């Protein structure tokens, strides 16, 4: 099996010629496969729509039109886009969420099921794919145009909150809805419901933790991020927290703070929520793109310390859906006046958070991952006593794609789980680790199948069982003893100092690749060839 990025016809042809595959699967295709490839070798296209759905904006239309059920179809490449014979299809219920969140959850889960079924059918050699036939009652899709800005436009004077949310969620996280705020154009990549605030439609009526609240005709929505529209001849732009982008234009707009405990009982936007069930505390955090800037790290640390003061025995960390964490916030760093200094502050704030978890000895701490994690986000999860993952979770425990050594106490936590040699391989080799593979190697403690909702139903039951276990006291005592012994062998401060010595060089030395790699990531620079680590 091999992997090749679709970076152009000639490159793809050369790779196919070298590898000579029996089958090509294209799960995230954004460009057409050359005819001389698909006419010689079967190419299975994974399309995020039900049978008959065609066009480049399938999920955009599904969300904007309020579809409650959607699908993923695996079809064979032919001359006409999305019109080939069908090898497999899977349906799923559409929750109220943004496009990118839907893609990483329900769509991804359905796509895996459909691809595995299609490949099994291909391997059997007896299955005949079904031609697309719009006369069939189960073929409900249709050809749709590109979901351009003309379809996304929001009229704040007449569009209801429900309509505004559908339009903004359909544009999350790309391309965003082009809109005007304070006389300037911005792309708005997603939004969340607000349950109490009202105001003059279209006006910004509040801010909270980097987000702005904008009034509609019958309520309001929260907008966490904005991307300025690129001016002709100007530099490319990227997403940042909305309040950072708008800056002084928000002078006089009131701040509407909300505690994590209060947020748990509200239908409003909050990155942090805290709730309790018996002697189990649940600290939920959900950051756009899983990115944690200095401020988010500090807010989460404060919420964690507050939770630790509560009379609980087990503390469960993790969002209800989507990313657990992807580490430091590269976009905020890129926009900073001094990116090196902001990088340094951000990594220290991450370290402060991880240290607090590592030094908690009077509670069992569980990292519950319903979604993916990467780099420092993986190490954040490993700071807990146990790591529980949904079966479809993908972990990327490496730092090397950003030219970083890594911190977050990984030199302490990772070798304890997988050994020193494997820890070096995982952090230095930019390849993903599935939840099941992670459990085999010791990176993950427990894995549960099912949707995010099913995973959390399972996790709540397991957390309650831990809290009521007769062995809880013995486990906590053993935890305290291990921490004392580990500290005597080598203090946590020594691990941090050694890691940060490397990170300081990465951030501040002029010959280090980090800043260029970060810029390429932030601006979405495409690689010129398929990276060598994928050519297996």
1: pLDDT strictly greater than 80:
no
Residues 6+ apart with CB under 8 A from 459: 316, 366, 368, 388, 448
Positive or negative CA dihedral for 193, 277, 299, 381? negative
What pLDDT, in 10s, does the model give residues 221-255? 999 999 999 999 999 999 999 999 999 999 999 99
pLDDT digits 0-9 by tens, 394-414: 999 999 999 999 999 999 999
| Count of C-beta atoms within a 10 Å radius of residue 176 | 21
**Residue indicated by tokens 């069930």:** 277
- Position 325 pLDDT exceeds 90: yes
Residue 31 pLDDT more than 90?
Answer: no
Give me the pLDDT at residue 421, please: 97
- CA dist 320 and 98 (Å) reads 14
pLDDT at 535 over 80: no
User: How far apart (Å, rounded) are the C-alpha atoms in residues 305 and 71?
Assistant: 42
pTM exceeding 0.85: yes
Residue 39: what are its φ and ψ, rounded to 5°?
-80, -20
The per-residue DSSP string of 81-105 comes to: TT-SPEEEEEEEE--SS-HHHHIII
**Which pLDDT does position 294 carry in this prediction?**
98
Give residue-wise pLDDT tens across range 464-514.
Answer: 999 999 999 999 999 999 999 999 999 999 999 999 999 999 999 999 999
* Token pair belonging to 267: 């239908």
- How is residue 271 annotated by DSSP? S
pLDDT for the residue 536: 61
Residues 26 and 447: their CA atoms lie apart, in Å, by 28
Residue 124 confidence (pLDDT) above 70: yes
SS3 content of the chain, % helix, strand, coil (to 5): 40, 20, 40
**Confidence class of residue 281 from pLDDT cuts 50, 70 and 90?**
very high
Task: Kindly compute the dihedral angle of the four CA atoms of residues 205, 207, 210, 211, in this order, to the nearest 10 degrees.
Answer: -40
- 44-83 confidence digits (pLDDT tens): 999 999 999 999 999 999 999 999 999 999 999 999 989 9
When the pLDDT of each residue in the chain is averaged and rounded to a whole number, the result is 96
Q: Above 90 in pLDDT, residue 9?
A: no
Tens digits of per-residue pLDDT, 440-456?
999 999 999 999 999 99
Region 2-7: mean pLDDT is 85
């Amino acid at each position: 099996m091999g992997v090749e990025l679709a970076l152009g016809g000639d490159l793809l042809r050369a790779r196919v010629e070298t590898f000579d595959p029996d089958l090509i699967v294209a799960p995230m295709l954004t460009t057409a496969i050359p005819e001389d490839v698909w006419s010689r070798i079967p190419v299975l296209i994974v399309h995020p729509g039900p049978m008959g759905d065609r066009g480049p904006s399938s999920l955009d239309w599904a969300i904007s039109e309020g579809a409650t059920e959607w699908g993923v179809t695996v079809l064979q490449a032919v001359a006409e886009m999305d019109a080939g014979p069908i090898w497999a299809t899977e349906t799923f219920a559409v929750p109220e969420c943004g496009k990118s969140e839907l893609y990483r959850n329900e769509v991804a889960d359905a796509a895996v099921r459909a691809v595995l079924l299609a490949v099994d059918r291909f391997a059997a050699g007896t299955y005949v794919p079904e031609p697309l036939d719009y006369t069939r009652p189960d073929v409900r899709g249709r050809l749709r145009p590109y979901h351009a800005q003309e379809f996304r436009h929001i009229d704040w004077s007449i569009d209801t909150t429900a309509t505004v949310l559908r339009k903004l969620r359909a544009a999350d996280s790309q391309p965003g809805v082009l809109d005007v705020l304070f006389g300037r154009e911005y792309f708005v990549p997603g939004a969340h419901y607000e349950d109490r605030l009202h105001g003059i439609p279209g006006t910004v009526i509040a801010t909270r933790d980097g987000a702005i609240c904008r009034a509609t005709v019958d309520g309001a929505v929260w907008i966490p991020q904005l991307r300025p529209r690129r001016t002709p001849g100007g530099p490319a732009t990227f997403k940042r927290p909305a309040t950072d982008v708008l800056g002084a234009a928000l002078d006089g707009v009131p701040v509407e703070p909300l505690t994590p405990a209060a947020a748990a009982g509200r239908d409003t936007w909050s990155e942090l929520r805290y709730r309790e069930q018996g002697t189990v505390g649940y600290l939920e955090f959900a950051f756009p793109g899983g990115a944690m800037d200095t401020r988010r790290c500090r807010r989460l640390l404060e919420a964690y310390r507050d939770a630790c003061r509560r009379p609980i025995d087990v503390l469960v960390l993790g969002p209800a859906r989507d990313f657990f964490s992807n580490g430091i916030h590269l976009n905020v760093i890129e926009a900073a006046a001094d990116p090196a200094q902001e990088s340094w502050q951000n990594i220290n704030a991450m370290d402060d958070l991880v240290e607090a978890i590592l030094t908690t000895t009077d509670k069992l701490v569980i990292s519950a991952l319903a979604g993916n994690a990467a780099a420092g986000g993986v190490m954040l999860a490993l700071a807990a006593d146990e790591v529980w993952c949904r079966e479809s979770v993908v972990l990327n425990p490496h730092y090397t794609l950003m030219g970083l050594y890594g911190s977050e106490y990984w030199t302490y936590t990772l070798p304890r789980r997988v050994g020193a040699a494997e820890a070096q391989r995982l952090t230095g080799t930019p390849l993903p680790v599935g939840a099941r593979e992670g459990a085999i190697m010791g990176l993950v403690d427990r894995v549960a199948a099912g949707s995010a909702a099913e995973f959390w139903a399972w996790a709540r039951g397991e957390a309650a069982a831990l809290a009521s276990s007769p062995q809880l006291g013995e486990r906590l005592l053993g935890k305290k003893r291990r921490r004392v012994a580990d500290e005597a062998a080598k203090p946590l401060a020594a691990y941090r100092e050694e890691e940060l010595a490397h990170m300081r060089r990465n951030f501040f030395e002029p010959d280090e690749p980090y800043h260029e790699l970060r810029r390429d990531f932030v601006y979405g620079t495409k690689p010129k060839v398929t990276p060598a680590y994928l050519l297996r």
